[in-house]
Chains A and B, each alone.
Chain A
């Protein structure tokens, strides 16, 4: 297990690269989804009104 995380001494480079990529893609996903839901909710509110 330790060997896997260590990645032959390259762990400190590999894990931040994957982690930051994951966080960035996650942030894009949630911001786009939130924007769509916000617009849909506002649209619904105004057409119902």
Chain B
């Protein structure tokens, strides 16, 4: 039984390292991911703005939570995904893993910027300050810089194989920051509240606020899935074209280079 399960896992793992098979899977899954995003997003937005009650201490400012927490959640989830894909690419030379890691970088950076922006907006009415240099806020700002650094590595080299090698190292080193973000509110004194959803003893958030929050989390996660799948599909087309181009006769490659289509031919 155990042996059988292992075989199925290995089969799935190797199957989807085949770009053509992954592309087919991505094409099938992405409309569903987008559908979940639209439905959960519409419900989440309605409940967040119209049907959830104001907080007894924060008043209506608590509604910022429904866009802040999902963005912050996705910022770390996206990075964890990026680092996991980089590790897979590093160890197993999985064809699609580097492409998937790269596809997660821009959405991750945008979610991080959103978390910082909406956090500042929430901080002003609740803490009385837009920004404080405490461990949680600072470590999330560092995360934004890591994302930017990761994307810069990809863009700075025309040799994609070389860029991938450097990008994997940046991704894995940058992962040190993720547990720091998670536990920053426990390790240091912070204005930021401690974990209130995933914690021992269950969520400390009331059900009337947990519903819009969880719905928005589902929406953001589904959107991230769509973004990654769409990004991977676009990149795989480009990779396939580069491969076709490298196999083409020299006269063709000269024409392509003149057009500036591929610089590392």
Docked-complex contact A28 and B110, CB < 8 angstroms: yes
Interface-lining segment among B59-67, B90-98, B142-150, B198-206? B59-67
Select one of A7, A20, A24, A32 contacting B230, CB under 8 A.
Answer: A32
Asked if B250 is an interface residue, CB under 8 A from chain A, the answer is: no
Asked if B117 is an interface residue, CB under 8 A from chain A, the answer is: yes
Asked if B79 is an interface residue, CB under 8 A from chain A, the answer is: no
Chain B residues at the A interface, C-beta cutoff of 8 Å: 45, 49, 54, 59-61, 63-64, 67-68, 71, 106-107, 110, 113-114, 117-118, 121-122, 124-125, 223, 226-227, 230-231, 233-235, 237-238, 240-241
Asked if A2 is an interface residue, CB under 8 A from chain B, the answer is: no
Nearest-neighbour CB distance to chain B for A7, whole angstroms, equals: 4
- Please report whether the interface of chain B is mostly helix, strand, loop or mixed according to DSSP: helix
Interface core residue of B71, B122, B230 (most chain A CB under 10 Å): B230
Nearest-neighbour CB distance to chain A for B116, whole angstroms, equals: 11
The answer to whether A20 and B61 touch (CB under 8 A), given A28-B107, A33-B230, is no
**Residues in chain B near residue A39, CB distance under 8 A:** 233-235, 237-238
CA distance A45 to B238 in the complex (A): 13
Docked-complex contact A14 and B61, CB < 8 angstroms: yes
Docked-complex contact B110 and A24, CB < 8 angstroms: yes
The 5 listed contacts between A and B (C-beta, < 8 Å) are A14-B60, A14-B61, A21-B67, A32-B230, A35-B234
**Residues in chain B near residue A18, CB distance under 8 A:** 45, 49, 67
**Residues in chain B near residue A21, CB distance under 8 A:** 67, 71, 114, 118
Docked-complex contact A24 and B114, CB < 8 angstroms: yes
Nearest-neighbour CB distance to chain B for A45, whole angstroms, equals: 11
Nearest-neighbour CB distance to chain B for A44, whole angstroms, equals: 10
The answer to whether A7 and B60 touch (CB under 8 A), given A13-B122, A33-B230, A36-B233, is yes
The answer to whether A14 and B63 touch (CB under 8 A), given A24-B110, A25-B223, A35-B234, is yes
Docked-complex contact A28 and B118, CB < 8 angstroms: no
CA distance A21 to B63 in the complex (A): 13
Docked-complex contact B125 and A20, CB < 8 angstroms: no
**Residues in chain A near residue B110, CB distance under 8 A:** 24, 27-28
CA distance A25 to B107 in the complex (A): 9
Docked-complex contact A32 and B59, CB < 8 angstroms: no
CA distance A9 to B84 in the complex (A): 44
Nearest-neighbour CB distance to chain A for B78, whole angstroms, equals: 11
CA distance A11 to B117 in the complex (A): 16
Residue of B nearest to A23 (CB): B114
**Residues in chain A near residue B125, CB distance under 8 A:** 10, 13
CA distance A2 to B49 in the complex (A): 14
CA distance A11 to B61 in the complex (A): 8
**Residues in chain A near residue B226, CB distance under 8 A:** 32
Docked-complex contact B113 and A16, CB < 8 angstroms: no
The 3 closest A-B pairs by CB, nearest first: A7-B60, A39-B237, A10-B60
The answer to whether A20 and B237 touch (CB under 8 A), given A10-B61, A32-B231, is no
